[in-house]
Amino acid sequence: MKFSWRTLLLWTLPALVIGFFLFQGTFSTTEANMGNNTASTRMSYGRFLEYIEGGRVASVDLYENGRTAIVQAIDPDLDNRLQKLRVDLPGNSPELITKLREANIALDSHPMQSNGLIWGLLGNLLFPVLLIGALFFLFRRSNNMPGGPGQAMNFGKSKARFMMEAKTGVMFDDVAGIEEAKEELQEVVTFLKLPEKFTAVGAKIPKGVLLVGPPGTGKTLLAKAIAGEAGVPFFSISGSEFVEMFVGVGASRVRDLFKKAKENAPCLIFIDEIDAVGRQRGAGIGGGNDEREQTLNQLLTEMDGFEGNTGIIIIAATNRPDVLDSALMRPGRFDRQVTVDTPDIKGRIGVLEVHARNKKLAPEISLEAIARRTPGFSGADLANLLNEAAILTARRRKEAITMLEVDDAVDRVIAGMEGTPLVDSKSKRLIAYHEVGHAIVGTLLKDHDPVQKVTLIPRGQAQGLTWFTPNEEQGLTSKSQLMARISGALGGRAAEEEVFGYDEVTTGAGGDLQMVSGMARQMVTRFGMSDLGPLSLESQSGEVFLGGGLMSRSEYSEKVAARIDDQVKVIAEQAHQLARKIIRDNREVIDRLVDLLIEKETIGGEELRQIVAEYTIVPEKEQFVPQL
């Protein structure tokens, strides 16, 4: 609960009002004590003395310790009738009493009552008491809420969410596209439900399962499915929730988490993003983070230390297994490493079927066609794709999702939002030649992926796009395929040079050239596809830690580095010359395609291939082989 001035005012305003009335009551106590003797007419002290000397005063009643007097006097202006008059007496007037006695005037003194003092004291104490009570009430309320000041002593307590019977709403039937991972984890669920089936043959329950895979592939979804299927107590926590700014808090939270888990064994513990706490110890300049390393040490001890943790299965997820400490990865802690990779075409169809259950699809929708167009998409990407298609359908006021909305959704997910089409100008014609250059080279090269469509509609930062779709899953890529992709990527720049001249080339090929350089360098340094021979000269993953990056030495000499640069240049230049030759030999069909593209703004792959089939000059295969 947050402390606010509004809350303080709600408590203090009534206290101020009550205190005001109490003070008013204190000041008016004397007048209340005067009762019926209160006079409505005042008389000055000098005239009061004149009345005494004139024998007109009948009686005097003194109040407020002699500071006020109620006088009964004969008023000559009112036919000598008695009248009550109020006189404010000076502080020091001892001669007044003497004069009253000498004149035989009835004198009476009325002492002050103590009730006024009591009410005054209560009035002075009421506001502080109410203020302290309000603050105490606010403190107690915030003490019972997360993050309140009363939580200062609870830093060492685990923040894991605990569910005695996890009702995540996700079962294994709701997870598709990762059948191998499901099979591994279903065995863990069976361990928990029927342990005697395995213990009868001497098998032990695994202590930990590490889910490894790219983001969005369904690691957390699998953990939810395990929680929904197992029917045992379930703890879930993120790796970042262990470490705080205070030293020793992370280790204390690990101890508290496993203490609670042992009290509820058998149970499951799910740690998401474990790389936040499980990174390699001692990495970086000047050592690692002591607090994080203490937390990791405590986690290692709890998972497989002196005492053990029978009946507790730990499931962790990460997309950075390369940074995890080796002691955490060994058997006995994480006995199994389950790879949750992007789904293949069969898996993508299954994922699309799961996410299409609550969506209205038109009869012509083919989930297989969508799956074939989305290679490399994760489960999260496919879910987002169908959701974007549903949003476009609602925006266009259609009753069901059609392939048009799916195609637009794919383009939006991959390339970004659709921009305003260009007007017919030199710039639009140049972009058309650039995109047709990509398409014609990709179509005429045998080992290149087929063209899906060519468009001049801008998306994201691109003014035009050429889409290529693999016709089958490609787990391995050949040298000829890589060379074809490099030539296809250079087709746009080659078309600009052949049609408009070298001086008129634009910056539109910047992204293409970056991709070409990356693929060519990988061919030389990682895949051994050059005259340098079958050597891997660079590691497949970059440096993870700052210290390793600064202190690692080069993996090859300067002479080899120069040869690598030469080989990369040769591959790129040969692919570039091949692309320019294809553009020159097929200029007639390119001009026809450009005119059609400017008119329609989008050409489908089948239509493009039909036009190209009318005039085709296929390049020779020998031109693919780079030579120094």
**Active site members:** 435
Which among 216, 176, 178, 217 has a CA at the least distance from the CA of 353? 176
Q: Could you give the C-alpha distances from 557 to 110, 533, 554, 560, 564, in angstroms and in order?
A: 114, 16, 7, 5, 11
Which among 380, 430, 386, 433 has a CA at the least distance from the CA of 412? 386
Write the CB contacts of 10 (distance below 8 Å, at least 6 apart in sequence).
Answer: none
Q: Could you give the C-alpha distances from 552 to 308, 539, 544, 555, in angstroms and in order?
A: 39, 12, 12, 9
Q: Kind and range of the H or E element at 83?
A: strand 81-88
Q: What share of the chain is helix, strand, coil (3-state, %, to 5)?
A: 55, 10, 35
Q: How many CB atoms lie within 10 A of CB 262?
A: 16
Contact (Cβ atoms closer than 8 angstroms) between residue 372 and residue 382? no
Q: How many CB atoms lie within 10 A of CB 186?
A: 14
Which among 118, 138, 96, 112 has a CA at the least distance from the CA of 11? 138
Residue type, 343: P
Contact (Cβ atoms closer than 8 angstroms) between residue 172 and residue 276? no
**Token digits of residue 547:** 């210290």
Q: Could you give the C-alpha distances from 313 to 48, 197, 227, 296, 317, in angstroms and in order?
A: 101, 17, 12, 17, 13
Contact (Cβ atoms closer than 8 angstroms) between residue 89 and residue 67? yes
Whole-angstrom distance, CA of residue 520 vs CA of residue 558: 19
Which among 191, 188, 197, 204 has a CA at the least distance from the CA of 270? 188
Which segments within 319-368 are labelled E, that is strand? 336-339
How many separate helices (H) and strands (E) can be counted in the chain? 23, 14
Residue holding tokens 């002591």? 290
Helices marked H in 83-151: 94-102, 115-143
Which among 246, 241, 258, 268 has a CA at the least distance from the CA of 299? 258
Contact (Cβ atoms closer than 8 angstroms) between residue 403 and residue 365? yes
Write the CB contacts of 32 (distance below 8 Å, at least 6 apart in sequence).
Answer: none
Whole-angstrom distance, CA of residue 408 vs CA of residue 485: 25
Radius of gyration (C-alpha) of the chain in whole angstroms: 45
**What's the half-sphere exposure (Cβ side, CA atoms, 13 Å) at 219?**
24
Distant-in-sequence contacts of 198-203, Cβ < 8 A, 24+ apart:
none
Q: Residue 151 gets which letter from DSSP?
A: G
Q: Kind and range of the H or E element at 318?
A: strand 312-318
Residue type, 173: D
